[in-house]
Structure 1
Amino acid sequence: MPAHGSDGAEAPEVNVGRRYLLIGATAALSGVGGMFAAVPFVKSWVPSAKARAAGAPIRVDISRLSPGEMLGPIPAWRGQPVFIVARDSAAVERLKQDNPDLADPASENAERQPEYARNPWRSRAAEVGVYLGICTHLGCSPKYHGEVKPEGFDPDWQGGFFCPCHGSRFDLAGRVVKGVPAPDNLDVPPYSYESDTVIVIGIDEENA
């Protein structure tokens, strides 16, 4: 079960390669009366599983997400898991460089992301990416391999996502590599920033 920040935003697991750290902030409640009074408040901010599947917005606390880490998979939005990735300055610079190995480096397929994500990072902020954790081949969930190091599936791996089902690879912006089964980049869901540390998945600032 995901934890929740003190403002009600979901704080899911952090994936650092193979390490998983549960991120959460628990608020101390004074007295039994205070505890019961807080329950309806928290529930009013956190959508049920049924509501999430129907597309209800999800608020996610990213205050403890460090560069190189990934939050996820976050409980499904519209039945699909969400990945939130924090990129360091080196990763941001790598994504700006031309990469002939990418099938759609400029995100020409407009159906895969909102207009504000048609940039080298495919995100509102270069340092934080938000992607649906579903491979565009047959719907498996890719694994996060954020480090730049040789991998069994790619000796020149520069960090990103690898789908273990059929070998599709995506960079840290969710852009698909040429010659793999996946035909398109990972999808970017609509999202906005409620604050510097809270992302709302399912609501665009433009359409809020």
Structure 2
Amino acid sequence: MNQDGTDRSRRRFLTGAVTVVGGAGVVATAVPFLSYWQPSARAQAAGAPVEVDISKLEPGQRISLEWRGKPIWVFRRSEDMLAKLPELNDRLRDPESSVESQQPPYAQNETRSIRPEVGVLNPICTHLGCIPLYRPEVGSVDADWPGGLFCPCHGSKFDMAGRVFQGVPAPTNLEVPPYWYPEENRIVVGEHQDGGAA
């Protein structure tokens, strides 16, 4: 009876050990297999859509990400920032965003966005390709500064919708990449809502 009890204990131990080792083996095999289906960093940089969570984005804050090797900024505008946009129209080179290649049709509006409070821009200056400084605070560049993006290379200025001011070297507004909202607080940059790639 003692030997029979020992054999059962040993059998249970061996069965448990084989189950644990087998389970670990299945997980070790499954993880690389499943990760194979996720786009690599190289594929994302080459153009795969990038998803970003904006649930914690407060007014005035921005999130930086990369798509197709370019920087993309996602930022939240306050009510005051939105109220200032129409007041700037007479100081802007293209307030209506009439150059179609600068934004998708759904962003050809005053805020250049799907939702007025959330902006999505490629912040590469359209003059010589510098990255502007994000300066949403009124007066943070000079006494007349309404808030927006300021390019330190040659002084180009853009409002909080990425629209270029008159009298600066940049010829056109900043580019708005294709994007959409799969959920309330998630943005997919790099494709349109119908799944069409940019």
TM tier, smaller: 0.7 to 0.9
SS at match of 1:83: strand
* Residue 204 (structure 1) aligned to one of 192, 195, 198: 192
Q: Report the CA distance between 1:101 and its aligned residue.
A: 1.1
Give the TM-score normalised by structure 2. 0.79
Q: Report the CA distance between 1:53 and its aligned residue.
A: 2.5
Amino acid at match of 1:56: A
Unmatched runs of 5 consecutive residues or more in structure 1 = 1-32
Q: Deviations over 1:111-130 (max 9, x none)?
A: 10011111110000000000
Q: 8 Å contact 1:150–1:156 — kept in the other structure?
A: no
The verdict on how the C-alpha distance between 1:53 and 1:149 changes in structure 2, with shifts beyond 3 A counting, is same
Matched, 1:163 2:151: yes
SS at match of 1:205: coil
Q: Deviations over 1:48-85 (max 9, x none)?
A: 3311232110011111110111111x12x112100111
RMSD of equivalent CA atoms: 2.3
Mapping of residues 1-208 of structure 1, within 5 Å? 44-45=37-38, 47-72=39-64, 74-75=65-66, 77-151=67-141, 154-208=142-196
Q: 8 Å contact 1:167–1:180 — kept in the other structure?
A: yes
Q: 8 Å contact 1:102–1:175 — kept in the other structure?
A: yes
SS at match of 1:176: coil
Q: Report the CA distance between 1:96 and its aligned residue.
A: 3.0
Q: 8 Å contact 2:164–2:170 — kept in the other structure?
A: yes
Larger helix percent? 2
Larger radius of gyration: 2
Identity of aligned residues (%): 49
The verdict on how the C-alpha distance between 1:97 and 1:39 changes in structure 2, with shifts beyond 3 A counting, is farther
Q: 8 Å contact 1:133–1:141 — kept in the other structure?
A: yes
Unmatched runs of 5 consecutive residues or more in structure 2 = 1-23
Q: Deviations over 1:150-189 (max 9, x none)?
A: 52xx321111101111111100000001111110000000
Q: 8 Å contact 1:121–1:173 — kept in the other structure?
A: yes
How far apart in 2 are the matches of 1:194 and 1:200?
Answer: 7
SS at match of 2:158: strand
Amino acid at match of 1:118: Q
How far apart in 2 are the matches of 1:48 and 1:114?
Answer: 26
How far apart in 2 are the matches of 1:148 and 1:98?
Answer: 13
Q: Deviations over 1:84-111 (max 9, x none)?
A: 1100111111113352111000001111
What is the aligned residue count? 172
How far apart in 1 are the matches of 2:108 and 2:31?
Answer: 41
Q: Report the CA distance between 1:142 and its aligned residue.
A: 1.0
Larger strand percent? 1
Give the TM-score normalised by structure 1. 0.75
